[in-house]
Chains A and B, each alone.
Chain A
Amino acid sequence: MFKDEISPLSGTPPNVPAPVVKLISPELKSQPGRWKRTWSIIRQNPRLIVGGTFIMVITILAILAPVLPLPDPETGISSKAYQPPGNQFLFGSDNVGRDVFSRVIWGGRVSLSVGFISVSIGFLTGTSLGLLAGYFGGWVDLLISRFIDALLAFPAILLAISITAALGPQLQNSMIAIGIVNIPVFARLSRGQTLQVKARDYIEAARALGLKQGNILRRHILPNILSPLIVQASLSLGFAILAEATLSFLGLGVQPPTPTWGFDINSARGYLSNNYWWMVAGPGLAIMLTIFSFNILGDSIRDILDPRTRKR
């Protein structure tokens, strides 16, 4: 797992040139072998296939929404309101005659973009803060850690609600809010990992060779702490989509008539007593399956990367 540790000369920095690299076993460098191994791991993990496939399908549909032959998600035909699922409307139609399926696909664009961008914000900011805190220690660590503690003091969704309420209900504000909420988990994780990795011999050797601190952080510490962060990113994506749906549900996300899964569920609440269940079912299933897929994907990646849980 620790990339630099493949060097057979323990304590030698990995960027030491040719002779050391030549000592590395050829099969480790062989691309076909690596692909074969990766494919074998994927085949042995049905959850990885299920989760990954669903995420791929929903992502492709969301990206291609503008070119797919879908009815306009924002305008409906009032005479065709409240149609149950059938040939004309795959997921039924809503109270103003809009196609629920079309709104689910278009809504996926919002949910997935908020998910990916907010997790990227959390990942980049949190990991950078954690790296700095863990590597430099002292007052830098104290300052960053207290800031992270302060963010962790808030229940996550409450913090996201408060930030969005403060910044205003807009797409980019949802991304910022959920991104900020994601910072602490990445910061904590990367700080802990950095503390472990910086005590290793090859970091000591890199320092002794006079490498700049930025170089050590970027080239030697970051690659070796990435695995758990990637697992966390996958799990955080599930949370981000849930948080976006919650914000939209409360009317704090993207504003209507733009379709979002959370807002559509909230709109459908008023029609539950009439048993128009399909207005909730479409966006509800989409949210549930997307979060479910990210969760099982995260779990599978963790199981693959962590030998202790591989057989559990």
Chain B
Amino acid sequence: MGRYIIRRLLVLLPVLVLVSIIVFVLTRLTPGDPIRTVLGEEDNPQTVAELRDKLGLDQPIPVQYVLWLGRAVAGDFGKSLRDSQPVTQAVFERLPATIELGLAAVLFSLLVSVPLALISAVKRNSIADGIATTISLVGVSIPNFLLGIGLILIFSYIFRIFSPGGYTPIGEDLGDNLKRLVLPSIALGAASAAVNTRQLRSALLEVLSQDYIRTARAKGQSSMKVLTKHALKNAMIPLLTIIGLQIGTVLEGAFITETIFSWPGIGQLAVKSIGNRDYPVIQGVVLLSAVLYMLINLIVDISYSLVDPRITLGQSDV
């Protein structure tokens, strides 16, 4: 296991370098001069030259990249061109809000998808199965910004149950924090719930047709025991992959959901930075998101062997 993890991390290294090149090149392609973002209308040539020198923009692009990468590895992504706040600080200040929203969304998706998939697989081809399958298909087809707006319209403006947006820190008022968390977590978790339902249903159907399930039934085990002890456990592998990938989906969905619900996480920070052409922040957020996404995928791969001991993480897995 240890050797496998080390090998996987070594494979990740060249990918990380490529990712950093993509991020760097993309932000350098962004139209508009970053100097203008900082200085606005001021066009004193000396001030412009000094700032260009200070930001390292007078260096050749490859040199700029190496300098930037060196600092990024040390956790220094520079300062925001807008408010001079260090990017790392800006990201870590907003990370708890994103993590809270992400966890709530994953929890919502599991609470919906596991029962729906179970009903769907056990009552295969029934009306219940049809309804569950349709719900999951519709869920996949609704963009989270559309669902978010629909939820705001219904629950904030028509029934006036929840606030249309905003954030209260947990430490300040837990009740209000949770109340404000409901709509964004549903908007963010719905698509994941739909995908999870489809995958888990498919996996359960595969497992339910296996010989050991028939044997368990023949031994007189109750349907519930067969389902929970044998079927669900064996259907967990594809679900685990999907949950891992869904964390990534939740991460990207957060960019939109946080913007709609004025949730002060890294997604909202990134969208604002794109609008402001604040490229140190964009670079920092995009690179950190990509690294996080890769690590999640690695953790998912490793967790396979924990769920299913038959899977050994050998040389061929890399």
Question: Min CB distance, A24 to chain B, in Å?
Answer: 35
Q: Which of A149, A156, A166 contacts B29 (CB 8 A)?
A: A166
In the complex, A158 has a CB within 8 A of chain B: yes
A312, B202: Cβ atoms closer than 8 Å: yes
Which residues of chain A (237-290) have a CB below 8 Å from chain B? Answer: 238, 242, 245-246, 249-252, 262, 265-266, 268-269, 272-273, 275, 277, 280, 284, 287-289
Question: Min CB distance, A148 to chain B, in Å?
Answer: 10
Question: Min CB distance, B30 to chain A, in Å?
Answer: 5
Cα–Cα, bound, A165→B146 (Å): 22
Question: Min CB distance, B187 to chain A, in Å?
Answer: 13
List the B residue with the shortest CB-CB distance to A154. B290
In the complex, A33 has a CB within 8 A of chain B: no
In the complex, B153 has a CB within 8 A of chain A: yes
Q: How many pairs of residues, A versus B, come closer than 8 Å at their CB atoms?
A: 133
In the complex, B140 has a CB within 8 A of chain A: yes
Question: Min CB distance, A185 to chain B, in Å?
Answer: 12
Number of A residues near B (Cβ < 8 Å) is 47
Cα–Cα, bound, A312→B259 (Å): 39
In the complex, A150 has a CB within 8 A of chain B: yes
Cα–Cα, bound, A251→B293 (Å): 25
Tell me the dominant secondary structure on chain B's binding face: helix
Question: Min CB distance, B245 to chain A, in Å?
Answer: 10
Across-interface contacts of B146 in A (CB, < 8 A): 245, 265, 280, 284, 287-288
Q: Which of A147, A158, A272, A287 contacts B157 (CB 8 A)?
A: A272
Across-interface contacts of B150 in A (CB, < 8 A): 280, 284
Across-interface contacts of B289 in A (CB, < 8 A): 154-155, 158
List 11 other contacts, CB 8 Å, given A154-B22, A246-B143, A251-B275: A157-B256, A158-B252, A158-B255, A158-B286, A161-B271, A162-B286, A165-B26, A246-B145, A250-B259, A265-B149, A312-B205
- A-contacting residues of B (Cβ < 8 Å)? 14-16, 18-19, 22-23, 26-27, 29-31, 137-138, 140-143, 145-146, 149-150, 152-153, 157-158, 164, 202, 205, 248-249, 251-253, 255-256, 259-260, 270-271, 274-275, 282, 286, 289-291, 293-294
Q: Which 7 A-B pairs have the closest CB atoms?
A: A155-B252, A150-B18, A292-B141, A166-B29, A291-B141, A166-B26, A157-B252
